[in-house]
Structure 1
């Protein structure tokens, strides 16, 4: 039994039982073990186990573990009956975007379940059939004796299944309209918002409540805000997950990052006695400063006493001593010398003064993350004379529109006609690309030649951006990690070949500094896979002599920044720096205006980046520190 839970103490304002695990992998194994016990217990009594199953990214590792248990521990699904929560409507049962396909790929094709025991809402039925079909689906759940356990995820609207805000406690299986945020979250699966179905067939809240036990999963920081509402908020139709508070047997299973907004994690001093370490102390003082809208150095003893921080104040002579300590700690994170300032006392600086000229590698998961996320720091490293390399980990080839691929292919054909007498091969290639774009199986299944063209488009843009920053071509490394090269949105798992590519580059450059996209809190994205590859490679090389003097600095992606209490190096940017960074981002023309994967943020990447950098600087300013135009932030990771 997995026991690696994280103990934050009991959350006194939590209205649902919560289990927090160190990772989504560990949490998923714990959930799979619960399900396996139910299956085996029912089988021992000669009974069927009735499982309510979910789709999406949250349960995938649960299903992986159930498959492993079937293969290695003789867990049989022969007497298991399943009912899935939902399906898009309309949706072909053969579509790779549908939940019928998902469930067979992720679970059913790999275990010994009987096909007649599988129940997934049918997205192919006519609209005239929907009402009777949903009533029949509900009847089948009742005839099976209800669900022994129901697995749930939670959407960012608070939906469970596709019970969106406004659903009520007595809702049954039915056809529903999807909320705009739910549709936006599905864009990565479908490619474009207009391709996402606007409706779905879903079990209702009342249907879910037929389960004897309910387990709700949530992984990653993106889910943290809605998890807090579901767990700590009052029951209300605006957040359907709060209805779970009325069920007698519910468990909410989280990883550390999905739990970040819970009161017992974010502000434990409000509800319990704290063990005050340096990190928690800094968090509390920053929280108080923000709450009262007062600079840190203006906080008083009374401010601490009136805001649940008596016990913290008791550890210091007075509030002034505490204020100065935290103010100085924040001030020491600020540096305009991300590679270290030569010839100065560096004991209170984020980076070492020596060697004066450092070898640095900036790892960029996609071909534009380097300039979007840390373009100002990238510029400073180059301007200050460091030996900077950039490593683009993936080709980014799925994030290019077909029109751009055709445009570049036309340029290739026309140039060939100008320069060569033999144009037959170029014409054939052009015709192949045009035909391939016109007859694609789906939005993101490209011919190998088309993928190559799209990858070259991104490569050219990345090279232009790196040259603008000041890098020579021999300091640009295009790694094309194999895990990414599926031609689809879905990627392969991280493999040894991916890690070996990183190891080879590290041993070639022998860096003093490594910068990487530190999306530790997103368990599903390409950034996380790329970071895992870097961490695995560093684990291999850590005994090399050069690695003993190597720092790993983590930056965040285009959408989020580190919280100020986490930041260990803040690099100020002037208005001129910010404009240079913007121009570097503009080199990525295929991502300009409207990229293929825009996410739910309508701003362009340069706008998101600048707003984020200005917000970080504003945060420091509001705490009473020096006012800057913008800041890029980093956290140091001990590997």
Structure 2
């Protein structure tokens, strides 16, 4: 049997989701702890923070409570800490580790160690030397857990870090600081420096596992696993480690060769999705429309098996061109009195009941504003369900402006509502004296939620949605006042189920953005999928189709798209004005992301890029397109 080709330069395990992957890593850590305990020795663990290891720690806690896993012999050294940083601050990694692991297991209090963010600058260098010497006295790290930054960093070893780098004070890369802006309430508040364990000490660990979840990690995962070893991608140094592995979910692995172009690695089953994937990739790679691809193009780019199966490039080209053509529709709710055999949506019922689920109060207009408007204009009964309040994405000064307005208004007109006056006065007082480490009070969260609710109502008025069709679900998992949310609960799912039962929709639109598996979009999608799965036995669900849209950052890959809704220049402009209704989300909001473009600019660029891809493949040229994938529950 012919050996499969591998492009990967480091052992890489891919799991269906981060839950399965985290369980496997937790089992390995538990095995090391038990083995060392049996030998009467300490298990010396290097630990990481961030969203990636949370489920690993959760599983270790479960094993401690339910299976008797003891941490009495465990000694830990964390990778990094912001500098300066008080240990009880919301953003502190000391606080993170206590909340996520240490306070829930029996590890002795003197056995866990993190870099000290409170030290005077002149003492940091001595602390770093001592930190490494402590690890060396234990004989080195038995196990090191890592995440990977979107610029390829490990720990806070930013691009440019050398393989022999020591534990040190590091100036943070702008990309890293932007990624942390949500935790700090804005980029301006993010620490500019951090103390980090060096690459050298990480490489000395006896076992290293790097975790990565989500599409936003995929590009740098591929560079680290398949590219050359380079200081530009510090995670690539792990290629030289003798016992290291990457543990990924499907999304984080999406840019690896065996996932992106599996026919280059091994034999594949040439079903319809795989043919579409291969041919669209080939067309874009060689810069030709699908219908202009030749036999030579297929043979010279690893697709000779596909050519042998079909016989001629012409036959494959026609088939894939038709696949693509049939995804395009100006009637997202189905075109009445038309042959729908080659359309993405059904013609009947001509007037459909539709629920658009929006994780935050602006995802509906940002992600599918053109389709949103068209569904209403074409006579469908459109409901919008805002799943969370979105309150943490409102800047403090924006909330202060609104709170002061109410206080001033009440003073002017002597409004006789002492309770309301108290709420707003207390909010003003808190915001004027708020420390960076403080979580918003319930009054401030209420005001911020009102701001976003008002903007959402304004958008719906603009589109033409009647107020009785606008639903604010305020799912409980979100209302923590912090970036870190509660796990999804039964109450969250029940709220979604109740609305579906009430509307009995023919169409559901949901945010399928899986960039961050711990993020609000993913949790909201999980709630919808759970609700739909529980209700699928209902008779009305037999005629319900679920369409998934993406967020402001990324679009579905061209081969995945099952419905593409074109937009004219006028419709693009109308969508822009709809996004403008969300004034609190303009001009440097806490969750601006990785670039300086505002949400309306990102949405327009993404929609224009989707249209351009269809044009490059030889389809009709449109100003912009919104794209959807159907979830067949």
Could you state the TM-score of these two structures normalised by the residue count of structure 1? 0.96
Q: Please name the residue that 1:105 is paired with.
A: 99
Q: Tell me, in whole angstroms, the C-alpha distance in 1 between the residues paired with 2:44 and 2:104.
A: 18
- Aligned residue for 1:489? 483
Residue of structure 1 in register with 2:37 after alignment: 43
Unpaired runs of at least 5, structure 2: none
Query: Which string of whole-angstrom CA distances, capped at 9 and with x for unpartnered residues, describes residues 137-170 of structure 1?
Result: 1111110011111111111121111111111111
Whether 1:96 and 2:90 are equivalent positions in the alignment is yes
Question: What displacement does 1:576 show?
Answer: 1.1
Paired residues of 2:224 and 2:235 also in contact (CA < 8 A): yes
Equivalent-residue separation in structure 1 for 2:60 and 2:626 (angstroms)? 43
Task: Give the 5 Å matches for 1:233-632.
Answer: 233-416=227-410, 422=416, 427-442=421-436, 445-632=439-626
Asked whether the 8 Å contact 2:171–2:193 carries over to 1, the reply is yes
Q: Which residue of 2 aligns with 1:204?
A: 198
Q: Indicate conservation of the 8 Å contact 2:509/2:549, yes or no.
A: yes
SS at match of 2:175: helix
> Which residue of the partner structure matches residue 155 of structure 1?
149
Closer, same or farther: CA 128–509 of 1 in aligned 2, 3 Å:
same
CA 271–35 in structure 1, closer or farther in 2 if over 3 Å, else same = same
Aligned in 2, Cα 1:423/1:529: closer, same or farther, shift over 3 Å?
closer
Q: Is the Cα–Cα contact under 8 Å of residues 10 and 264 in structure 1 kept in the other structure?
A: no
Inter-partner Cα distance in structure 2 for 1:636 and 1:425: 48
Q: Which residue matches 1:6?
A: none
The equivalent of 1:33 in structure 2 is 27
Q: How many residues align?
A: 631
Task: Indicate the larger mover: 623-632 or 243-252.
Answer: 243-252
In structure 2, what is the equivalent of residue 186 of structure 1? 180
1:227 matched to 2:221? The reply is yes
| Contact 1:18 1:251 (C-alpha < 8 Å) held by counterparts | yes
Aligned residue for 1:634, secondary structure, equals: strand
Retained in 1: the 8 A contact 2:89–2:437?
no
Q: Aligned residue for 1:85?
A: 79
Report how far residue 487 of structure 1 moved.
Answer: 1.6
Structure 1 residues 629 and 260: CA distance shift in structure 2, 3 A: same
Contact 1:87 1:123 in 2 (8 A): yes
**CA RMSD, 1 decimal:** 1.5
CA–CA separation in structure 2 for the residues paired with 1:134 and 1:175: 8
* More displaced 10-residue stretch of structure 1: 262-271 or 68-77: 262-271
Task: Output the CA distance in 2 between the equivalents of 1:369 and 1:487.
Answer: 20
| Residue from 120, 127, 134 that aligns with 2:128 | 134
SS across alignment from 1:366: coil
- How far is the alpha carbon of 1:502 from its aligned partner? 0.5
Once the two structures are TM-superposed, the CA of residue 341 in structure 1 deviates from its matched residue by 0.3
**Partner SS, residue 109 of structure 1:** helix
1:169 maps to which residue? 163
Query: Residue 382 of structure 1: SS of its match in structure 2?
Result: helix
Measured after TM superposition, the shift of residue 450 of structure 1 is: 2.0
Q: Which sits farther off after the overlay, 221-230 or 267-276?
A: 267-276
Contact 1:413 1:426 in 2 (8 A): no
